[in-house]
Amino acid sequence: MSLKKAKESGAMGIFNSKYGDKVKVYTIGKKGEIFSKEICGGPHVKNTSELGNFKIKKEQSSSAGVRRIKAVLE
């Protein structure tokens, strides 16, 4: 969605100058019980145990020595 629409929907982001015209919005929670809505980089946690059960959908190299996953909470 557009950055403007993402912000209007309540999504938070802190790197305004780094976002393009189109951004991804990651939401944690169910409709009416959303507790995180973030632009682009997605949610970050110190340890995956904070998330509970999740299923990895995609895994890839982000940069040298860094791996990135895309997962959904179960």
Determine the residue type at 74: E
pLDDT of residue 8: 92
Predicted TM-score (pTM) above 0.75 = no
More confident residue, 10 or 48: 10
Which pair of structure tokens corresponds to residue 74?
A: 């179960």
Regarding whether 50 and 39 lie in a shared domain, the answer is: no
More confident residue, 15 or 43: 15
Regarding whether 33 and 56 lie in a shared domain, the answer is: no
How much is the mean pLDDT over the chain?
Answer: 82
Q: What is the pLDDT of residues 29-59, one digit of tens each?
A: 877 888 888 887 556 677 778 888 989 999 9
pLDDT of residue 43: 60
Helix (H, G, I), strand (E, B) or coil at 49: helix
Regarding whether 56 and 38 lie in a shared domain, the answer is: no
Regarding whether 59 and 34 lie in a shared domain, the answer is: no
Regarding whether 51 and 26 lie in a shared domain, the answer is: no
Instruction: Please report the beta strands in 1-74, taking only residues with DSSP state E, as ranges in sequence order.
Output: 25-28, 36-39, 54-63, 66-73
Regarding whether 31 and 5 lie in a shared domain, the answer is: yes
Regarding whether 74 and 55 lie in a shared domain, the answer is: yes
Question: Which residue segment(s) compose the domain that 9 sits in?
Answer: 1-43
